Amino acid sequence: MPSKEFADPVIRQSIDTIRLLAADAVEKAKSGHPGTPMEAAPIAYLLYMKHLRHNPANPDWAGRDRFILSCGHASTLIYSMLHLTGYDLSLDAIKDFRQFGSQTAGHPEFGHVPGVETTTGPLGQGVAVAVGMAMGGQYLAQHVDAELFDYRTWVICSDGDLMEGVSAEAASLAGHLKLGQLNYLYLDNKITIEGDTSLAFTEDVGARYLACGWHVQRVEGENLAEIDTAMERAKNDPRPSLIIARTHIGIGAPNKEDTHDAHGAPLGAEELRLTKEAYGRDPEATFVVPTAVAEHMGGCLAKGAELENVWQQQLEVKKAKPTVAGWLAVSKGELPADWDSALPTFAAGEAKATRQASGAAINALAPQLPFLLGGSADLAPSNNTEIKGEKSWLPGESGRNIHYGIREHAMGSIMNGLCHTPGLIPFAGTFFVFADYMRPAIRMAALMGLAPIYVFTHDSIGLGEDGPTHQPIEHLASLRAMPNLTVIRPADANETVEAWKAAIANRQGPTALVLTRQGLPTVDRSRFAAADGLQKGGYVLAAEAGELQLILIATGSEVQHALAARETLQAEGIGTRVVSLPSWELFDAQDSDYRAQVLPAACSKRVAMETAATFGWERYVGCAGSIIGMEGFGASAPAGELMKHFGFTAENFVAKAKELLG
């Protein structure tokens, strides 16, 4: 039995306890992954007991090291570690693994369990989020205080994490930026669900990471001395580090060790009994934590309290330092009283793409919000995401302008890591069609209640000649379907400014700003309602004259056509209201009285127009309404021709309205 190689009997007992708690939890739930927690136990033990700077009594203190279990299917590993080292996670909670309402979900979830830094499960997300966490730490070290924020980000990851494409993008950027505070511990067990990794994965992982600029070491996963030495070397190397540990899935299980049978299913009652016998434990006893182990691993509480106390003393000395004082305020979620005072107002009639108005808003906000930072996937000139006058983020130097390269998958995940950094407000841009590349990270942000801001430009067929490959006709519907994601498609420059205000104020979930490539006329607010109606998601932009007979609803670039159509219809004596509906989520969050004022039930004749798939619009137009939208993909042609061809004109608005009115 490999664990008997650990000379100190208490250490051996501790590692065995980690393994068997994990196996017992999976067995009781009749669901889960026992093999990976068993193989990773020595590495996790050494990390928590020696190398990880943490305080179980206060898991969120800002100076702590960060730990991510990227292979989230091995969640019983982190649950066992948290319980044994003194976090507020009871043994009963571990016994409740994967049960409804339990803290110990099937994959570790941020906000449910103290000590879980980020939700993991979709493989590759954890290692990519870790890059963002390491970048956040570097930013705080260089812009707030290097002594306070010298923390390290540790990751335990698996073959599956490193096979996923997002990990390659993230590793490439991390190596380029020389993120020396980032360390991966890779469980090289040669097993996936289908069998041996050689079925699909024969690359030299170490060589790949060396090529990306990483420090790479190899160790035996049961050799604590080797692992310890490798971790020390990693901490002293200026490059990000990958420690490849040759491990054995389901170690100690007589018939399932080193097989895929130990991966995605319980060991089974008989195999678990034999495993406990092999470990020298009572085969009938479950969830056993020997007193010696509880006392030994519980020592992390006293050690952690001392580590945090030293840090808090440093903070007390430094809190009058302007950079530290500023960070302390924003880290509590506070915004400066005048944060939105410099935002621009645009003159009526001025034609401006909403992406341009967004760029102006970013640059007005940046001096007021020093922890606002962002970039683009090599599209900053198109997305208008550059903070002018600020430095670029380069190897060893963290500026406010981040150059992600053509790496949207990793960009989304890295933003989530930056959001986990106290005080930071990250944004990032790409063309709206490439939101698909970011979707797993967007979903994780929504699930965790993180608040990145996505600047999605080139929002429709209005981008023109690039053609249907770049025209995101289905993306609005698909993103609106995601819980806790706020999607905003502003109608003009002033609505765009309001959209940025809404995005900054929203700290409970991500916000997607969906912006045009083409210029849009700026609405004359002296004739029509103020742009701050956007804060409620939808508002009466132009009221009807006379009896209300018809409501025209639009978002983004189509609002101009609704206003023009209203002029024609009102001239013919048809009482027509125009509703700008830039955010379904914000509108649906309003009380029923307000929504009824904007869209009164008594007026069933409604026409909606949006240069996107019509899916979902039924909720606003009802059975008696009509929707002008895209029924297929777009085409390559100048934007004006496309708009006419597909019917996005004031004339078509009028025609559809008259059809409804009979």
Domain boundaries in the chain?
2-305, 351-521, 532-661
User: What pLDDT is stored for residue 5 in this prediction?
Assistant: 59
What is the average pLDDT value for the chain, to the nearest integer?
97
Residues 6+ apart with CB under 8 A from 454: 427, 428, 429, 435, 438, 442, 510, 511, 512, 513
Instruction: Estimate to the nearest angstrom the gap between the alpha carbon of 176 and the chain centroid.
Output: 22
User: What pLDDT is stored for residue 479 in this prediction?
Assistant: 98
User: What pLDDT is stored for residue 22 in this prediction?
Assistant: 98
pLDDT digits (tens, 9 = 90+) for 218-274: 999 999 999 999 999 999 999 999 999 999 999 999 999 999 999 999 999 999 999
Question: What counts of helices (H) and strands (E) characterise the chain?
Answer: 25, 20
State the fold for domain 351-521. Answer: Rossmann fold (3.40.50)
User: What pLDDT is stored for residue 7 in this prediction?
Assistant: 78
User: What pLDDT is stored for residue 4 in this prediction?
Assistant: 52
> Which parts of the chain register pLDDT below 70?
1-5
Tokens 């306070």, residue located = 148
Distance, CA of 112 to CA of 155 (rounded, Å): 19
Residues 6+ apart with CB under 8 A from 458: 355, 382, 431, 432, 433, 466, 470, 472, 516, 517
- Read off the pTM: 0.98
Contact 542, 578 (CB under 8 A): yes
Q: E strands, 122-263, where?
A: 153-158, 182-188, 191-192, 195-196, 215-220, 241-246
Distance, CA of 279 to CA of 2 (rounded, Å): 9
Tokens 């490539």, residue located = 517
User: What pLDDT is stored for residue 1 in this prediction?
Assistant: 43
Domain 532-661: CATH class, spelled out = alpha beta
pLDDT digits (tens, 9 = 90+) for 544-576: 999 999 999 999 999 999 999 999 999 999 999
Instruction: Estimate to the nearest angstrom the gap between the alpha carbon of 56 and the chain centroid.
Output: 25
Eight-state DSSP code of residue 456: E
Task: Among 3.30.70.1450, 1.10.10.10, 3.40.50.970, 3.90.1150.10, name the CATH number for the domain at 2-305.
Answer: 3.40.50.970
Do domains 351-521 and 532-661 share one topology? The answer is: yes
Active site positions, annotated: 408
User: What pLDDT is stored for residue 350 in this prediction?
Assistant: 83
User: What pLDDT is stored for residue 3 in this prediction?
Assistant: 54
Amino acid at 51: H
Contact 289, 91 (CB under 8 A): yes
